[in-house]
């Protein structure tokens, strides 16, 4: 039995994809510890995991990219958030290490301070990636294209990573070709949704989406629905995507469908629901998807891949972060449609939704690719291999002769 310590950012969209892997490790007899956002600690403990909250200073640094006027400004704000959190992550992870003494570390790709400390400790560690690495660079000519963490763009982006490296005494990174430091990267997506032409670093393991949500009973009204169901949902991390909900209610209010809206970061009391709509703050998406003909969403990786895993096509209205990249993949795989936010209105959304409903075969093809990637079992296998081969990884001469 091994002891794992997972360290997440304070975001459900980063924690939830990892949970199936943690549960698989638990079921194999390993001891699992988690440091994550305080609101999720009780849920994780109920699953038999050892969970504690992140340092409160980390949760007090919000992701404010929604305030940006341009994608470039949004990325800069996100990187500033990661950099500020990193100063607290280093001592926070040190405390967790002292308490848990883990055999291996699992580090969220956006917790750059925790990643620096994990590398400095010379202990088995891996990073997990729940979002597209959407900035490409070409270090060796047109035949080689890779991706870098959450859009790092030198030199400012490199400095975000180098600041905590100074804090823990690591050599500084010179450029994007040096970014992938962990010996294992669990990438929670898979072809055909991810680009099959990319040449990933050897450390990458594409395992498909980690589809999980807190246990919940199915709403009583769900069993009574007979009409085609359209699920509408927005980001759990606040951004100005309430326009999506308003447009969906106006677009489908007179349609022969049942509209179910999970308002997430928005107060459901702010919206006027037509007779064929039901609004709730949080819904068990997995159970609703069993009856869904289409999902209208902001293009977050979590809900988009959850819908496609169920073979349900999506209509994406992207607002920022990695959502434009997700929308591109949805269209490219024939798994749904996209409405740009500057073209969002009831008419454009209604047309795109009806087009998406007819694209179930594309969504089912993506679902087949996800299933073939192996999921939590493949991720747990990769982690076990990391532990088994760690000495060789640390000793290049031993690795070369093995």
Instruction: For the chain, give the mean pLDDT.
Output: 87
At a CB cut-off of 8 Å and minimum separation 6, what does 363 contact? 307, 308, 311, 312, 313, 314, 335, 336
- State the fold for domain 220-370: Rossmann fold (3.40.50)
Region 245-262: mean pLDDT is 90
Between 310 and 273, the more confident residue is 310
What confidence tier does 274 reach under pLDDT thresholds 50, 70, 90?
A: confident
Quick check: 389 pLDDT over 50?
yes
Rounded Cα distance between 129 and 355, Å, is 31
Comparing 3-208+373-401 with 220-370, is the CATH topology the same? yes
Residue pLDDT, tens place only, 84-107: 999 999 999 999 999 999 999 999
Domain boundaries, the chain: 3-208+373-401, 220-370
Region 208-220: mean pLDDT is 88
What pLDDT is recorded for position 151?
54
Lowest mean pLDDT among 76-90, 192-206, 271-285, 387-401: 387-401
What pLDDT is recorded for position 397?
41
Region 323-351: mean pLDDT is 93
What pLDDT is recorded for position 96?
98
Residue pLDDT, tens place only, 61-74: 987 766 666 767 77
**How many Cβ atoms from other residues are within 10 Å of residue 332's Cβ?**
12
Contact 245, 273 (CB under 8 A): no
Calculate ∠ Cα 334-335-337, nearest 5°.
85
Residue pLDDT, tens place only, 110-124: 999 999 999 999 899
Quick check: 143 pLDDT over 90?
no
What confidence tier does 272 reach under pLDDT thresholds 50, 70, 90?
A: confident
Rounded Cα distance between 246 and 16, Å, is 27
Residue pLDDT, tens place only, 350-383: 999 999 999 999 999 999 999 999 999 999 999 9
Q: Are strands 277-280 and 258-262 parallel, antiparallel or unpaired?
A: parallel
Backbone angles phi, psi at 3, to 5 degrees: -110, 120
Rounded Cα distance between 160 and 368, Å, is 37
Structural domain 3-208+373-401, CATH architecture: 3-Layer(aba) Sandwich (3.40)
């Amino acid at each position: 039995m091994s002891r794992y310590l997972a360290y997440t950012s304070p975001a459900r969209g980063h924690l939830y994809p990892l949970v199936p892997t943690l549960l698989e490790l638990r079921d194999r007899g390993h001891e699992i510890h988690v440091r994550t956002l305080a609101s999720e600690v009780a849920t994780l403990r109920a699953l038999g995991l050892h969970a504690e909250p992140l340092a409160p200073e980390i949760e007090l640094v919000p992701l404010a990219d929604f305030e940006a006027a341009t994608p470039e400004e949004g990325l800069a704000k996100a990187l500033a958030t990661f950099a500020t959190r990193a100063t607290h992550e280093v001592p926070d992870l040190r405390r967790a290490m002292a308490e848990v003494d883990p055999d291996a570390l699992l580090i969220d790709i956006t917790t750059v301070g925790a990643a620096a400390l994990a590398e400095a400790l010379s202990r088995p560690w891996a990073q997990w990636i729940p979002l597209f690495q959407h900035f490409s660079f070409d270090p060796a000519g047109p035949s080689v294209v890779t991706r870098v963490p959450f859009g790092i763009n030198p030199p400012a982006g490199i400095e975000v990573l180098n600041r905590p490296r100074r804090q823990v005494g690591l050599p500084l990174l010179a450029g994007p070709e040096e970014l992938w430091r962990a010996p294992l990267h669990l990438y929670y997506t898979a072809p055909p949704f991810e680009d099959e032409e990319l040449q990933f670093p050897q450390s990458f393991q594409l395992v498909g989406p980690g589809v999980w949500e807190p246990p919940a009973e199915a709403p009583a009204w769900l069993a009574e629905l007979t009409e085609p169901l359209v699920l509408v949902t927005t980001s759990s991390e606040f951004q100005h995507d309430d326009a999506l909900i308003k447009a969906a209610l106006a677009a489908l209010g007179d349609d022969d469908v049942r509209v179910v809206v999970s308002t997430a970061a928005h107060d459901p009391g702010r919206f006027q629901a037509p007779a064929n709509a039901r609004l709730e703050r949080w819904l068990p998406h997995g159970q609703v998807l069993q009856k869904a003909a289409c999902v209208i969403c902001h293009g977050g990786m979590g809900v988009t891949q959850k819908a496609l895993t169920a073979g349900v096509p999506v209509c994406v209205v992207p607002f920022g972060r990695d959502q434009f990249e997700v929308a591109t993949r949805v269209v490219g795989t024939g798994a749904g449609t996209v409405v740009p936010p500057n073209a969002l209105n009831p008419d454009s959304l209604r047309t795109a939704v009806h087009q998406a409903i007819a694209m179930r075969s594309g969504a089912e093809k993506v679902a087949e690719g996800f299933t073939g990637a192996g999921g939590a079992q493949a991720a747990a296998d990769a982690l076990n291999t990391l532990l088994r081969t760690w000495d060789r990884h640390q000793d290049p001469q031993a690795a070369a002769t093995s």
